[in-house]
């Protein structure tokens, strides 16, 4: 490590209710708009991860025995603190991720919605009761916490995705170990600080930074009972296989290639701005981004492309520190180069490059990791720009002749995360919703991210595991059910031995 790197501020782990001010290993954290390092982040060893899990396990024993109302009260206070410190959190997100302040604020608000849902833990964790299932016999079921659970989260939503996990895990009585992305770790540390300020006991929520070694340690540790993950499909599949092989519950959300079907009767005055935001918001670095527009008929395709071009020209690309910016940089130099390589492949494969996002320059930020909005037309399903998740500001237009062909195209893709249709025809919308093999569907809604009291998750290779994230599925994921059958025999009555399998109702 050179002298300049050593002088950068350190983002350490958060363990046992406090930030750890030292680290044996670190790596640089970049401001993607500047293209230079602005901090260092600690990288945990397997031994350090094990120590954190032990601390969480000790805290779990006390936290899990608190009344559920006490746990919910922490979430109420946490929500108020998130609202108080919104600007601080958004600034941290924008500096290390590159997204605009408004985009960061939108992310935070969607995370707060899950905190609000978790505040209803008393209602959610009631269990079920049946009286007199047999003579003098009552039965009930209880929802019990698992123990220590872990979350492994991506760079693109450094506040929202962790809050898709830990609020519900905590109110269910679990202790939580968060391993955020090492690319933009500051937001996770603020969340940890605010939880402590809200009164969460020390050790119940911990943040440990690191790379593959830290992830593997969490997957292998016997005290970690469940793992939630959001990221790319190859990593999601590997985490699911490793975690389940070690006896853990795993929900691993993977990649996406989200299609927007544009019908001939679509209201393009509404569809074009919706699609611009869905394709290019957050520089396309989100798993619900629209990356393929499937136009039913050449007429609507031509009209859509002609309308997209001036709308794209109006997009202001720049640093989050600049005023009235619509889109910031991508996260790393490597991401920038990968996206640009895909654009070259698209041209080589014969797609029509309508708007080229390469070579964009932002005044005052010559080293920033910027890629401009890009539009391809006449894309074919075999092209890499169609098959692969580019994770950048690239929209591909594919032309088909019928809605049935559009549905078949979507269903043939390996991913099944989100999709939408733009139409005024209720019958077409219903046929699309019923026929498409995708987990989240929008009707004239380009980013159909479910509200907090539903659950988020895709189909096919966009999700590994049986349960979706947040909402009702989170309750099932972070608890296990215990069934109790109770009988108090009357005193003085002799009991007969029964050898047959018991039948309580007879």
Q: Which residues are known catalytic residues? A: 287
Contact (CB, 8 A) for 7 and 1: no
- Phi, psi at residue 37, to the nearest 5°? -70, 140
Rounded Cα gap, residues 118 and 123, in angstroms: 10
- Phi, psi at residue 84, to the nearest 5°? -65, -40
Tokens 């180069």 — which residue?
Answer: 337
Contact (CB, 8 A) for 387 and 409: no
How is the beta sheet containing 128-134 ordered, strand by strand? 128-134, 137-145, 479-487
Contact (CB, 8 A) for 370 and 326: no
- Phi, psi at residue 33, to the nearest 5°? -75, -30
Nearest-CA neighbor of 377 among 267, 273, 292?
A: 292
Tokens 């959610």 — which residue?
Answer: 124
Instruction: Give every CB contact of residue 9 below 8 A, 6+ residues apart in sequence.
Output: 39, 40
SS (H, E, C) 167-202: HHHHHCCCEEEEECCCCCCHHHHHHHHHHHHCCCCC
CA 140 to chain centre: 34
């Amino acid at each position: 490590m050179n002298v300049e790197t050593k002088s950068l501020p350190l983002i350490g782990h958060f363990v046992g209710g406090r930030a750890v001010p030292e680290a044996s290993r670190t790596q640089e954290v970049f401001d993607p708009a500047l293209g230079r390092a602005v901090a260092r982040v600690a990288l945990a060893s397997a031994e350090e991860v094990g120590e954190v899990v032990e601390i969480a396990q000790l805290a779990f024993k006390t936290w899990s025995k608190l009344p559920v109302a006490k746990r919910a009260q922490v979430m109420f206070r946490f929500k108020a603190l998130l609202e108080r410190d919104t600007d601080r959190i958004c600034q941290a997100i924008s500096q290390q991720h590159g997204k605009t302040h408004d985009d960061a604020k939108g992310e935070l608000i969607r995370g707060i919605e899950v905190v609000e849902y978790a505040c209803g833990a008393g209602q959610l964790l009631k269990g079920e009761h049946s009286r007199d299932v047999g003579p003098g016999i009552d039965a009930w079921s209880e929802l019990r916490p698992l123990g220590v659970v872990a979350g492994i989260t991506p760079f693109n939503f450094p506040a929202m995705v962790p809050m898709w996990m830990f609020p519900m895990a905590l109110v269910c009585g679990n202790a939580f170990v968060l391993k955020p992305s090492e690319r933009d770790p500051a937001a996770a540390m603020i969340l940890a600080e605010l939880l402590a300020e809200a009164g969460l006991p020390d050790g119940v929520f911990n943040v440990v930074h690191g790379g593959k070694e830290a992830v593997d340690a969490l997957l292998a540790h016997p005290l970690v009972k469940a793992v939630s993950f959001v990221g790319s499909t190859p990593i999601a599949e590997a985490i699911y296989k490793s975690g389940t092989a070690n006896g853990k519950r795993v929900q691993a959300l993977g990649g996406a290639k989200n299609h927007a079907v544009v019908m001939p009767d679509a209201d393009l005055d509404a569809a074009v701005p919706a699609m611009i935001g869905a394709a290019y918001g957050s520089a396309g670095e989100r798993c619900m981004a629209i990356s393929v527009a499937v136009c039913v008929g050449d007429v609507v395709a031509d009209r859509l492309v002609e309308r997209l071009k001036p709308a794209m020209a109006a997009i202001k690309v720049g640093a989050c520190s600049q005023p009235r910016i619509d889109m910031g940089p991508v996260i790393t130099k490597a991401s920038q180069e990968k996206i640009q390589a895909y654009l070259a492949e698209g041209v080589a494969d014969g797609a029509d490059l309508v708007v080229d996002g390469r070579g964009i320059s932002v005044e005052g930020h010559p080293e920033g990791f910027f890629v401009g909005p890009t539009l391809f037309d006449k894309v074919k399903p075999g092209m890499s720009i169609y098959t692969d998740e580019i994770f950048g500001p690239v929209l591909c237009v594919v032309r088909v002749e019928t809605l049935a062909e559009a549905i078949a195209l979507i269903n043939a893709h390996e991913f099944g995360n989100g999709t939408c249709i733009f139409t005024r025809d209720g019958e077409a919308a219903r046929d699309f919703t019923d026929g498409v093999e995708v987990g989240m569907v929008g009707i004239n809604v380009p980013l159909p991210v479910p509200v907090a009291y539903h659950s988020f998750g895709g189909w096919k290779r966009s999700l590994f595991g049986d349960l979706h994230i947040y909402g009702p599925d989170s309750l099932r994921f972070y608890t296990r059910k215990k069934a109790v059958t109770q009988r108090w025999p009357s005193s003085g009555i002799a009991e007969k031995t029964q050898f047959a399998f018991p039948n309580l109702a007879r």
